[in-house]
Amino acid sequence: MSMRELAVLGTASQAPTRQRNHNGYVLRWDDEVILFDPGEGSQRQLLHTGITATDLTRICVTHFHGDHCLGLPGMIQRLSLDRVPHPVAVHFPAGGADYFARLRHASSFHETAELAVEPIATDGQRIALRAGTLEARRLRHPIETYGYRLVEPDGRRTLPERLSAYGIGGPAVGELLRVGHLDVGGRRVSADEVSVVRPGQRFAFVMDTGLCDAVYALAEHADLLVIESTFLAPEAALAAEVGHLTAAQAARVAAESGVRRLVLTHFSQRYADPRRFADEAREHFTGELVIAEDLTTVAVPPRRHGTG
């Protein structure tokens, strides 16, 4: 059975707190296990999740501010320490290649792991995965920053009563869906007659950014949106100045983009009570809301119902 869920390693922004580690998130999506933005302490936080370095298939870095990347040296060295047997892809802004090189070789170690280094060089760059397509979009932040979204292609869900009415069963069902039609009893039955579209699932990851078109493009129809909400509304002017979002802005993006489950994270250390983020977000978003906490797991919602 496939697993699609997010493990939260840390939820702080620039400075960690007693309750919040620096950033870090792991997305399990079938056979893909993607580590996003490993901040300091991510390697230790991973120990509490049941996910190992050997499980990782891919690392995605949004940008090279320290709270999003200073855990990279330890994670990369751990891949070699554990002798991970498969290549691990690494994506990051191409303009930060020098930062990545320095982090990768920040200290002496015996490198055995194979890293497939694939920088993000263009807005809208797409990477084909077995699970779908990973797309990167340029965000608005003082340094080069990209958000990511994983989009599964639409499929089809068969309607048993219609298949039965046409006398179609067994291997013939698979053939009909592959070809798009099947000749039965002297007539051609199309896939549209016995099935409906099954929307593919979507995951979006939006970190440090001011409001921009790319935020909405990434969030569009996401089943699970993980998005920064560094500030609260009274600090909206400061948020805009430094390229960040408020909880209210993130919630409005989710509401306008048809998001099903919203995860707010990346909280400034100036706020002690996380309920303030929930209260502010609830003024704009009525869907499923999660105020992220360290070492919690958030499931990707079940598939949307198919439509004809």
Residues annotated as catalytic are 67
**Proportion of the chain in helix, strand, coil states, percent, rounded to 5:** 30, 30, 40
Alpha helices, H only, the chain: 42-47, 72-81, 97-104, 160-165, 171-179, 191-194, 213-219, 236-242, 247-257, 275-282
Q: What is the DSSP letter of 69?
A: T
- Report strand pairing: 4-10 vs 24-29: antiparallel
Strand ranges of the sheet holding 32-36, from the earlier edge strand across to the other edge: 115-117, 88-91, 58-60, 32-36, 24-29, 4-10, 297-299
Stated as kind and residue range, the H or E segment containing 212 is: none
The size of the chain, in residues, is 308
